[in-house]
């Protein structure tokens, strides 16, 4: 099954990715930029190829969070945006990841869909834009 999300309107659109990929649609300065991000934090195994434990799921979620924020490379997340003393608390990161969309103060809007293997239970539609300064 593919993983997809709709882009914010205007201008709208959508992105279709593989089932093990994070689907991201970023609208910046009125232009749509779509991404399919591989979430493979453990050696070269795809997330659909093994049963993930809680630590592996968290690594996948941290990788996804970095990609959603546009941090390159995602490894910076552990030192700059980690739960312990980072910019975002664990609760804030979870709320953003659960929401499926986020708006930045600079006007950039991002919608996304986590791959099922790292999604939260009870995930439904988005809960509305989360706004924060970044």
100-110 per-position pLDDT tens digit = 999 988 899 99
Using CB atoms within 10 Å of the CB of residue 53, give its burial: 0 to 12 exposed, 13 to 18 middle, 19+ buried: exposed
* Helices and strands (H, E) in the chain, number of each type: 3, 7
**Token digits for 105?**
């103060």
At residue 40, the pLDDT reads: 65
pLDDT digits (tens, 9 = 90+) for 50-79: 567 788 888 888 889 989 988 765 444 444
pTM comes to 0.77
Nearest CA among 23, 26, 22 for reference residue 41:
22
């Amino acid at each position: 099954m593919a993983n997809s999300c709709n882009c914010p309107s205007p201008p709208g659109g959508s992105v279709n990715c593989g089932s093990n990929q994070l689907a991201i649609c970023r609208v910046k300065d009125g232009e749509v930029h779509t991404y399919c991000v591989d979430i493979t934090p453990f050696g070269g195994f795809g997330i659909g190829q093994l049963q993930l434990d809680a630590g592996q799921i968290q690594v996948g979620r941290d990788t996804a969070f970095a990609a959603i924020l546009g941090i390159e490379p995602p490894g910076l997340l552990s030192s700059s945006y980690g739960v312990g003393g980072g910019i975002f608390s664990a609760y804030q990161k979870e709320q953003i990841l659960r929401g499926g969309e986020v708006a930045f103060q600079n006007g950039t809007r991002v919608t996304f869909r986590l791959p099922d293997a790292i999604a939260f239970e009870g995930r439904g539609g988005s809960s509305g834009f989360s706004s924060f300064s970044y």
